[in-house]
Structure 1
Amino acid sequence: MSERVLEVSNLHVSFDIDAGEVQAVRGVDFFINKGETLAIVGESGSGKSVTTKAITKLFQGDAGRIKKGKINFLGDDLAQKSEQELIKLRGRDISMIFQDPMTSLNPTMKIGKQVMEPLMKHKNYNKADAKKRALEILNLVGLPNAEKRFNAYPHQFSGGQRQRIVIATALACEPKVLIADEPTTALDVTMQAQILELMKELQAKISTSIIFITHDLGVVANIADRVAVMYGGQMVETGDVDEIFYDPKHPYTWGLLSSMPDLTTGTDTELLAIPGTPPDLLHPPKGDSFAERSQYALDIDFKTPPPWYQVSPTHFVKSWLLDERAPHVEPPEMVKKRLRNMPNNYAKPQQVERVSFDGES
C-alpha cells in the first residue's frame, strides 16, 4: 500500500474584503501518496492556487484564513500550526514553484547563493558544503555551465534557465511535497516539454510527491498520475489520469476537454468554449456551482449541492447526472471522439438507462 504523505479534509478558505467574505475554497478533500503526481486543474479563479497555498498558509497579507478543515501532513495538522512552525517547514518539507521565476528569485542576489540558502537554513550546511551541494543540484537540473555562472544574477539567464534555478532551489532540501503552480505557463512549448521531463526525472530520483496546478489538460496528460478537477472553489471530479481523459463524467470536465486541441481529430476540429463566467464566491450558489453554465443542469442542481458518486475505486464525481433517477446524457462530440480513441485495455463504462427524475433529493 502506498504511503499517504498529505491528506486535506473538508478545507474551507475565505478572504475577508471590504465587500464581504469571499469563500474561495469550500469543502475540498484530496490526498497524495509518496512519489505520486496529483494534477489540480480548472479555470482561473476556481480555487486551485488558494487550495495549495493553504497547505502552508502562504497567503498574502492578513485577509486569507482557513475557516475550517484539516491538513494532515505525516500525522501533523498543518491547519493548527503557528507561523513560526510553518516557516521551519516551508522549503524543507514542502516547497513551491511559481509561474513566473522572476517573482521567486531575488534579482539582487547571485543565483548560487539563492540555492545555498535553504541548505544552510534548514540542513545546517556550512558554506563550503552548501556550495558543493548547490552546484550538484544546478547540474542535476541541467543548468549550462553551472560552475562558471554560479555567481551570476537572475537577469543574466533565459526564462527556461531561471525556472531550472527555481526548481533547484525548491528541491535543494529534497522536500517530501513539491507544489508546482503553473510552472511552465510562461515558457515556450519546447522549453515547457523540457521542464516537465526534468520534473519527472527529479521526482524519480528523490521520490518527492508533486501537486501540479494547471489549466492546461495537455500538460496533465504528460505528468500526472491522478487528476482533481476544481470549479467554483470545490473539487467536482477526481480520478486517475486515464479515467479523467477517457471516461469523464462531470459536464465541467467535458467542457475542459472540448476546449482543448486534439491532434488526433485533425486541424479543422472546432474547439468549444464554456459559456458564461465562474460563480461569484462572495455569494456562492445554493446548489451545484456549475449549474448556471451547464446545458445539462437539472432542476435539483439549482437547489441542492450534489453528493459524491463513486464510478470506480479511484473515480469520484460530484454531479446529479450520476444519480440513478437522472436522465442519461451524452458528452459532447469532442469528448466522444476521445472515448472512441481510448486504449483497447480500458473498459468502456456501462450505459445508464434513461429514467425520469423528479428533482427531489
Structure 2
Amino acid sequence: MSETILSLDDVHVSFDSLNGKVHAVRGVSFDLHYGETLALVGESGSGKSVTCRSIIRLLSKNASIDDGSILYEGKNILAKSQREMRSIRGKEISIIFQDPMTSLNPTMRVSKQIALPMIHHLHLSKHEAMKRAIELLKRVGIPNSEVRYKDYPHQFSGGQRQRIVIAIALACNPKLLIADEPTTALDVTIQAQIIELMKDIQKKNGTSIIFITHDLGVVAKVADRVAVMYAGKIVEIGTAEEIFYLPQHPYTWGLLQSVPTADEADEELYAIPGAPPDLIHPSKGDAFYSRNPYALEADRYYEPPYFQLSPTHFAATWLLDERAPKVEPPPSIQRRYATFYKKHGGKP
C-alpha cells in the first residue's frame, strides 16, 4: 500500500439550527493514499460534502468540527489558522464544486480566473500566468483556447464551464483534488468526457482524488476504493471490487439494487423504504435500523462496530457478528452488482 496523503480520524461535524444541533458527520475515519481515487457514495444528506468541506475548512458559520483529527501529509489541518489554510487551498488541495456557474465569477474573463491562483500561490507574473491559463484551457479540452480565453463564463456551455472549473482547480498542480459531484448536471456524453479527463490528469500528475457522487456508474469508472456513507457515518469501505462483488451492509445492498440498468428497463425501480433519520436526535443503535429489512434486535439498541472482512474491507453491521443469523442478498442480485460494475468499466 502506498503512503498516506490524508487521514481522517473520528471526525465529528455539527450545525447549529433553529431546531437544535444537527450532527451531520458522526465519527468518520478513512485514509487516502497518494495517487488513489476514493469515492464517497450515499444518499443526499449522508454527510459526504460536509466531510470533504471539513478537510479544507470551508464550512458555514453555523458549523463546527467538534472532535477528531484531519492529517494532511502528517500535519493536523484543524490546528492551522485561516491564513495558513488559504495558502493550502488551491495550491495543495483543490475542490471542484457541482455547479460551475456558482463557482465562476460571471464578471471576470475565464483566463483571469485561472491565472489568479497561479499569481497568488506560485508568484508567476501576469504574462506567465496568462500563458499557462491558455495551456490549461487546451489541456481540459476547450477548443480555440487562444481566442476563447478572453470570454466570460456565460459564453461557454455547461460542459465547457465545468472544464474551466477543473482548469482552475489544476492551476497550481494540487496534490489532492476533491470533486464534489462534478458530473451530476451534465449529459451522459459530457459526463464521460469529464471522467476521462480526470483519469488522465491523475495518471499524468499522480493526483489523489476524493470523488463525491451518488452515481454508482461513475464510481465503477473512477474509484480504486469506495466509502459508503449513511447518516453521517461510513457504514462500509473497501476496494471497488469488494463493494460491487461482495457488499456486506444492507444499505450498500439497497444502493446497488436501486441503480437502474438497461437490462431491467421494464421492471419497477427499487427504492430503499423509509427516510434517513433525524440527525438532531440520532438513534442510539444502528441509524439504518428502521429502513433495514434484515434488522436484528441488537440494531435497535446498539451501534454496530466495524467488522473486518479483508485487509481493505470493513462494514458496520451486526449481521457480520458470529452470533447473527446468516443473511445475504439473493444470488441473482449479487450477479447484478458484478454485471453492473463490469459494464461500467470496472475490473472483471
Please report the TM-score for the alignment, with normalisation by the length of structure 1: 0.92
Residues of 2 paired with 1:146 and 1:333: CA distance?
A: 51
Q: Is structure 2 residue 208 aligned with structure 1 residue 200? A: no
> What is the one-letter code of the residue matched to 2:314?
F
Residues of 2 paired with 1:121 and 1:332: CA distance?
A: 56
- The structure 1 segments of at least 4 consecutive aligned residues displaced by more than 3 Å after TM superposition are 339-344
The residue that corresponds to 1:185 in the other structure is: 184
Give ranges in structure 1 of 5+ residues lacking alignment. Answer: 345-361
1:333, distance to aligned residue in structure 2 (A): 6.2
The residue that corresponds to 1:301 in the other structure is: 299
Q: Is structure 2 residue 53 aligned with structure 1 residue 53? A: yes
Q: Which deviates more from structure 2 when the two are superposed, residues 82-91 or residues 177-186?
A: 82-91
CA contact (8 A) 1:246 1:338 kept: no
The residue that corresponds to 2:256 in the other structure is: 257
Residue-by-residue CA offset, 1:149-197 (whole Å, 9 max, x unaligned)? 1110000000000000000000110101100000000000111001001
Seen in structure 2, the aligned counterparts of structure 1 residues 21 and 342 have a Cα distance that, compared at 3 Å, is closer
CA contact (8 A) 1:258 1:334 kept: no
The residue that corresponds to 1:335 in the other structure is: 333
Secondary structure in 2 aligned to 1:147?
helix
> What is the one-letter code of the residue matched to 1:330?
E
CA contact (8 A) 1:40 1:214 kept: yes
The residue that corresponds to 1:347 in the other structure is: none
Q: How does 1:150-299 map to 2 (within 5 A)?
A: 150-263=149-262, 265-299=263-297
Residues of 2 paired with 1:66 and 1:190: CA distance?
A: 38
CA contact (8 A) 2:122 2:172 kept: yes
Residue-by-residue CA offset, 1:332-351 (whole Å, 9 max, x unaligned)? 5663233675999xxxxxxx
CA contact (8 A) 2:217 2:341 kept: no
1:270, distance to aligned residue in structure 2 (A): 3.5
Seen in structure 2, the aligned counterparts of structure 1 residues 188 and 343 have a Cα distance that, compared at 3 Å, is closer
Q: Is structure 2 residue 47 aligned with structure 1 residue 36? A: no
> What is the one-letter code of the residue matched to 2:112?
K
1:137, distance to aligned residue in structure 2 (A): 1.0
CA contact (8 A) 1:258 1:332 kept: no
Identity rate of aligned residues, in percent?
A: 60
Matched residues, number: 342
Q: Is structure 2 residue 127 aligned with structure 1 residue 128? A: yes
Give ranges in structure 2 of 5+ residues lacking alignment. Answer: 343-348
The residue that corresponds to 2:82 in the other structure is: 83
> What is the one-letter code of the residue matched to 1:307?
P
> What is the one-letter code of the residue matched to 1:325?
R
> What is the one-letter code of the residue matched to 1:234?
K
Q: How does 1:316-327 map to 2 (within 5 A)?
A: 316-327=314-325
> What is the one-letter code of the residue matched to 1:249?
Q
1:83, distance to aligned residue in structure 2 (A): 1.2
CA contact (8 A) 2:140 2:166 kept: yes
CA contact (8 A) 2:104 2:165 kept: yes
The residue that corresponds to 2:345 in the other structure is: none
> What is the one-letter code of the residue matched to 1:314?
T
CA contact (8 A) 1:137 1:168 kept: yes
1:117, distance to aligned residue in structure 2 (A): 0.7
Residues of 2 paired with 1:152 and 1:342: CA distance?
A: 41
